[in-house]
């Protein structure tokens, strides 16, 4: 199996791209080849005007079961530093297109962190989210402490990262880690339905919403509101704003060009 086979890109809908991690023999564990391929694809799709929303998924039984420990077991601190995986994760975090994670089965360690890099998480009821790194002598290293605490709060996050115990898809929905929880068989279809809904809407507005929401969440409220206000005003110089409001008055479906 080649690196390209282990991460598969497809275009199943108009404006929708799907990235599928495909290492069933390793429970979709993240090795360096997969990390680099993911980073390359997110950069590519982020710059592609035809792509308006991205669905990120794994298999029916496993989303991503964690990092590939075979690459890590004998690594030194300098080995880990020189891998510069933060640059690969940043390519996903900084993708300007909305990203939906479709999570079935295990999303553990790096898999849970990968899902948290998405903007929307659609989880199956039988999914399993967790940060079990403490059980092999380490701790989360790609946002598993920082993104998790922002998603579910200090006390719940502390329980997950200090015990390594997972939570179900149902619990993830209740705690706010998942955007939506559906039957396992419906996860991918629901993710694509949401992706198509987003892809049919004005992409410049979607990009501004994502940018402002992410930038503003760690700002003081006044600064965040200023970011929002400027982005709101900027969108009045787009063709899509004119088209959307004209279509509303003319009672027809708008056609958005991303201009």
Write down the domain spans for the chain: 3-199, 203-250
**Cβ–Cβ contacts within 10 Å for residue 37, how many?**
22
The question of whether 170 is a catalytic residue gets the answer: no
Q: Which of 15, 110, 130, 173 is catalytic?
A: 110
Q: What integer pLDDT is reported at residue 63 of this predicted model?
A: 98
Q: What integer pLDDT is reported at residue 13 of this predicted model?
A: 87
Q: What integer pLDDT is reported at residue 30 of this predicted model?
A: 95
Q: Is residue 101 within 8 Å of 63, Cβ to Cβ? A: yes
Helix, strand or coil, per DSSP, at residue 108 = strand
**Cβ–Cβ contacts within 10 Å for residue 193, how many?**
13
CATH topology of domain 3-199: 2-enoyl-CoA Hydratase; Chain A, domain 1 (3.90.226)
**Cβ contacts of 257 within 8 Å, gap of 6 or more:** 239, 240, 243
The question of whether 257 is a catalytic residue gets the answer: no
Q: What integer pLDDT is reported at residue 2 of this predicted model?
A: 52
Closest alpha carbon to 21 in 50, 47, 1, 45: 1
Local confidence pLDDT in tens for the 259 residues of the chain: 455 689 999 999 899 999 999 999 999 999 999 999 999 999 999 999 999 999 999 999 999 999 889 888 999 999 999 999 999 999 999 999 999 999 999 999 999 999 999 999 999 999 999 999 999 999 999 999 999 999 999 999 999 999 999 999 999 999 999 999 999 999 999 999 999 999 999 999 999 999 999 999 989 999 999 999 999 999 999 999 999 999 999 999 999 999 9
**Cβ contacts of 55 within 8 Å, gap of 6 or more:** 16, 17, 18, 19, 99, 100, 102, 188, 191, 192, 195
What Å distances lie between residue 202 and 5, 100, 105, 218, CA to CA?
32, 17, 33, 26
Q: What integer pLDDT is reported at residue 4 of this predicted model?
A: 62
Helix, strand or coil, per DSSP, at residue 145 = coil
Q: What integer pLDDT is reported at residue 1 of this predicted model?
A: 46
Q: What integer pLDDT is reported at residue 40 of this predicted model?
A: 97
Report whether CATH 1.10.12.10 matches the domain 203-250: yes
What Å distances lie between residue 12 and 15, 17, 192, 236, CA to CA?
9, 7, 8, 31
- pTM of the predicted structure, to 2 decimals: 0.94
Q: Which of 6, 18, 133, 171 is catalytic?
A: 133
Q: How far apart are CA 48 and CA 224, in angstroms?
A: 28
The question of whether 180 is a catalytic residue gets the answer: no
Structure-token pair, residue 100: 């939906």
The question of whether 113 is a catalytic residue gets the answer: yes
Q: How far apart are CA 52 and CA 68, in angstroms?
A: 31
What are the start-end ranges of the H helices in the chain?
3-6, 32-46, 77-83, 85-93, 110-116, 146-152, 154-163, 169-175, 187-199, 203-216, 221-234, 239-250
The DSSP bridge pattern shows strands 62-64 and 53-57 to be unpaired
Closest alpha carbon to 28 in 88, 125, 91, 110: 110
Q: Which of 113, 123, 142, 143 is catalytic?
A: 113
Q: Which of 17, 39, 65, 67 is catalytic?
A: 67
């Amino acid at each position: 199996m080649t690196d390209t086979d282990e991460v598969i890109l497809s275009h199943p809908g108009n404006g929708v791209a799907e990235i599928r991690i495909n290492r069933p023999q390793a429970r979709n564990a993240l090795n360096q080849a997969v990390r680099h391929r993911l980073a390359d694809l997110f950069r590519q799709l982020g710059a592609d005007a035809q792509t308006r929303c991205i669905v990120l998924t794994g298999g029916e039984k496993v989303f991503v079961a964690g990092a590939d420990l075979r690459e890590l077991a004998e690594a030194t601190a300098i080995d880990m530093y020189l891998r510069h995986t933060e640059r690969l994760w940043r390519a996903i975090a900084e993708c300007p297109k909305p990203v939906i994670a479709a999570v079935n089965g295990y999303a553990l360690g790096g898999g849970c962190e990968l899902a948290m890099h998405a903007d929307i998480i659609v989880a199956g009821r039988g999914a399993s989210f967790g940060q079990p790194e403490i059980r092999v002598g380490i701790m989360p290293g790609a946002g598993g402490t920082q993104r998790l605490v922002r998603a579910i709060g200090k006390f719940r996050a502390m329980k997950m990262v200090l015990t390594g115990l997972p939570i179900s898809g149902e619990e993830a929905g209740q705690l706010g880690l998942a955007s939506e929880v559906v039957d396992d068989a419906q996860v991918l279809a629901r993710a694509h339905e949401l992706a198509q809904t987003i892809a049919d809407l004005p992409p410049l507005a979607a990009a501004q919403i994502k940018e402002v929401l992410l930038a503003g969440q760690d700002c003081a409220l006044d600064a965040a509101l200023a970011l929002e206000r400027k982005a709101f005003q900027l969108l009045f110089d787009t063709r899509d704003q004119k088209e959307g409001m004209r279509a509303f008055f003319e009672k027809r479906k708008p056609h958005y060009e991303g201009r």
